[in-house]
Amino acid sequence: MRFDVAFAGDRILLPDGVLRASAVRDADPTAAPPEIRTVSGETVFVPAPQRAGLERFCEDNGIPRLRRPDVWGDLLEPFLDTVFDPRHQAATLDRLERLGVGRAEAASIRDRVAPLMTAYNAVHGDWHHLGLADLLDAASAAVPPGHPHARPGDPAAFRSWAMAIADRGRSPDEP
């Protein structure tokens, strides 16, 4: 993350606008990076050094703090610079199925983002975790030489698609 946000009463001042507390469904200050989920299903990331500010904002504005399953973390696991045994891979697919992402859909999603995430992690060499923030960072990054097919297409449509998948970690009973 290369930006800061400012917390001002019932507003969060973002680089591209203002987010009011009334538009925030929940937040997870413990996520890496910290996340805000809007009522429309968008995920907004907060730089890690501002985690305490997000916590205070949530407390001051009565915003629920909620830890959700990391759908994209599981979907992007094959692109880590790590090898997982078949049992681990099966457990990951089982978690995704419980979130409504079946094996065939998981394979299709992974196929769609494979050129993008392969190019991204060729540069970053992450072996621990890739998630939604990394996917969006990869989608907005310059294409590394030798990876001409690493473009996600229409940026707005890609972002909307990625956000909808991320929101599958939301329980049906949540507001």
Q: What is the DSSP string of 27-43?
A: EETTSSS-EEEETTS-E
Q: At 120, which helix (H) or strand (E)?
A: helix 103-124
CA neighbor of 113 nearest in space, from 71, 84, 168, 83: 71
Across the chain, mean pLDDT equals: 89
Question: Prior bond to 33 cis, omega within 30?
Answer: yes
b/e code 50-87 from CB counts within 10 Å (16+ = b): bbebbbebbeebebeebebebbbbbbbbbbbeeeeeee
pLDDT tops 80 at residue 170:
no
Nearest to 29, CA basis, from 8, 52, 7: 52
Q: Among the listed ranges 26-40, 69-83, 107-121, 139-153, which one has the minimum average pLDDT value?
A: 139-153
> In which band, very low, low, confident or very high, does the pLDDT at 171 lie, cut at 50, 70 and 90?
low
Helices (H) and strands (E) counted in the chain, each on its own, are: 6, 6
Q: In this structure, what token pair is assigned to residue 10?
A: 């019932």
pLDDT at position 175 is 47
pLDDT digits (tens, 9 = 90+) for 102-145: 999 999 999 999 989 988 888 887 888 999 999 999 888 766 55
With 70 as the cut, is the pLDDT of residue 173 above it? no
What's the pLDDT at 11? 97
Q: What is the pLDDT of residue 172?
A: 47
Residue 84 has pLDDT above 80, yes or no: yes
Query: Residues of the chain with pLDDT > 90: what percent?
Result: 69
pLDDT value at residue 2:
59
Distance CA(10)–CA(121), nearest Å, equals 37
